[in-house]
Amino acid sequence: MSTTIEDRTNESHTTEGHMSPEDAMGHGGHHGAMSMEDMVADMRNRFLVALLFSIPILLWSPIGRDVIGFRTAAPFGLRDDVWMLLLSLPVIGYSSWIFFDGMYRALKARTLDMMVLVAIAIGAGWLYSVGVTLTGGGEVFYEAATVLAAFVLLGHWFEMRARGGANDAIRALLNLAPPMATVIRDGEPIEIATAEVVVGDLLLVRPGTKIAVDGVVEEGSSEIDESMVTGESLPVSKQPGDEVIGATINKSGTLRVRATKVGSETALAQIVKLVQEAQNSKAPGQRLADRAAFWLVFVALVGGSLTFLGWLTAGREVTEAMLFAITVIVITCPDALGLATPTAIMVGSGLGAKRGILFKNAMAIESAARIDIVVMDKTGTLTRGEPAVTDVVTHNFDENELLRLVAAVERDSEHPLAEAIVREADARSAGAARTTSFESVAGHGAIGEVDGRRVVIGNRRLLEREGMELGPLAEKREELSATGHTAVGIGIDGRAVGLIAIADAVRETSIEAVRALHASGVEVVMLTGDNSATAERIAADLGIDQVIAEVLPQDKASKVAELQAAGRRVAMVGDGVNDAPALAQADLGVAIGAGTDVAIETADVVLMRSDPLDVATAFQIGRGTLRKMRQNLGWAIGYNAIALPIAAGLFEPAFGLMLRPEIAALSMSGSSFLVAVNALMLKRLPLPKAAAPPPG
């Protein structure tokens, strides 16, 4: 089948040359628009009706008499064939109606699909039998038509249930949003349906409850668990002015949140939309399968006709020739071929969504499988894009005491490097202290007095101005500067006592990400506008293969194009506005989720967690999905190649090998079910596990 699940409730569509029973049901008629659950139940009911009436038809058929040994006469004094005709009416009129309706729609659209084949096979067998019955009796095969319908419906019932499992990710996402929200109106909190919240409403979010829609914190502070949407394992601190995401959980304090995005505009709704679009779209392999399915239907119809005429010419009875022809038509249904790629795409995109990896379309999934080199922006991708302390070097002075004194001064500074030092002191629990005086020296650093001690923090010029020489620290400072660090000198009470090295902080999982990419045979390139020394230092720490540094924003796309010209299949990973041209140029653009809207709009894949390890995970999902697509296509094509000559009876004269239509239907349905189950096995794909963050 080639449509997805959730969107059938709103619209219907078919792939070229292939319409499924659920597609036909979703197209309207007396069924109207149906959810997947309703369609599964409807298919089950149709199968049960077909099974219920097929059993007695089978008992009174020639198979019942000659094989099973059933000898009871038909009730009410009816002939066996008349009794079977009456029993077949519910199967043809109710259970099989979706096949006839689907055939009508396909022919109206001037296409051929499996609905045409099944409808012709069931209809031809039943109409022939009705004709024989009305003209006075003879050999009929109502049992072939009704059992065929039952087996096809059974296969589709199982298959639809399996495909429903492929959509667990969307269903789980849809269930994240809370049904009710507390809104403050006229100063009083009232509870309303989340769907009734409008932009501008002020929401009251109590501890332990979910945030209903996207918004901005106006009052209060709290820790928000965003793991269900972004995959971020640790709660995120929120203060007034911070944005919050709908469906995330408020862990501690009470918040007042002003709604900024509701309904289809929320982040959660956009995630669901991306996953659905990916499942609806066609990969290149799917287009090939669709064309093959169209021609396979044509071959089946022509083959069935030639089989019928061939056996008649060979002197066989009309009923025998009809059985062979119907079997050919049934066994060559391209159902498994049509299922081969979309089912794998559905599972792959759902698997990605559960990991916070959003593929925008099926092409992105297939492209991810073929990447052999990944170009990663440095700032904001491999690094956090914010300064952090990497080294604390002291000379005859206690490290924690140094941080305690320096942090006391830097708390009064607004410089980004000062913030990094304060964070490091807090992380190390260095202790709290307060300055009794503070002086900011523009372009050089800061001076303060802490616990009666004069603390000087700044560059070499500031320390020299204050009469302090670095002495043995000078060599270490040069070494740090050469590797791209900013080395801040520390002087206390007129003596240089240490250095604090600051650099852009590498993300905790960057090393593991590079290792995982190497393990899968992907080369890693760092592309950055930063200086070569800094870039080379980070590349060496992470084990990156190649560094392209000091690149202007407008030249990033041309660097990607150069790699493509060398025959490489390139993925570009970035987060900023200046990455957008390169993301568009690459064979696969991957945007870090915390990046800009422009980067996210341009990319083919969005990583919600801003975790570089998810790049390797996306490639693994792409390769696993492509592998399942190839397995399914190989099975579908091989199955038809082997089954067609057997169904046509080519081996019957020499070996007595032949298939009845109902057995062919069981085989065809089983093949489709196997394809669906094989795709679902993708859920067991081994994926990289995020490295544990460092302690502290």
Of 279, 177, 171, 165, residue with least CA distance to 229: 177
**Region of residue 508 (phi > 0: left; psi between -120 and 50: alpha; otherwise: beta):** alpha
**What is the Cα–Cα distance from 502 to 487, expressed in whole angstroms?**
6
Residues 6+ apart with CB under 8 A from 45: none
**What is the Cα–Cα distance from 118 to 24, expressed in whole angstroms?**
13
Residues 6+ apart with CB under 8 A from 553: 529, 578
**What is the Cα–Cα distance from 74 to 174, expressed in whole angstroms?**
54
Of 505, 517, 473, residue with least CA distance to 614: 517
Quick one: tokens of 464? 């020299």
Residue 377 bears catalytic tag: yes
The total of other beta-carbon atoms located within 10 Å of residue 259's CB is: 22
Of 244, 549, 500, residue with least CA distance to 394: 500
Of 18, 344, 326, residue with least CA distance to 166: 344
Query: CA 688 from chain center: how many Å?
Result: 16
- Evaluated on CA atoms 271, 275, 281, 282, the torsion sign reads positive
The total of other beta-carbon atoms located within 10 Å of residue 8's CB is: 21
The residue to which tokens 């202007």 are assigned: 552
**What is the Cα–Cα distance from 151 to 323, expressed in whole angstroms?**
16
Task: Choose, from 113, 290, 377, 530, the residue flagged as catalytic.
Answer: 377
Of 512, 503, 551, residue with least CA distance to 383: 503
Residues 6+ apart with CB under 8 A from 206: 182, 250, 254
Helix H or strand E encompassing 573: strand 570-574
Rg of the chain over Cα atoms, rounded to whole angstroms, equals: 34
The residue to which tokens 């980067």 are assigned: 599
**What is the Cα–Cα distance from 563 to 585, expressed in whole angstroms?**
11
Look at strands 357-359 and 605-607 and give their pairing.
antiparallel
Helix 335-354 to helix 267-280 angle, to the nearest 10 degrees? 160
Burial environment of residue 252 by CB neighbours within 10 A (0 to 12, 13 to 18, 19 or more): middle
Burial environment of residue 655 by CB neighbours within 10 A (0 to 12, 13 to 18, 19 or more): exposed
**Residues forming a β-bridge with 392:** 500
Catalytic residues: 377
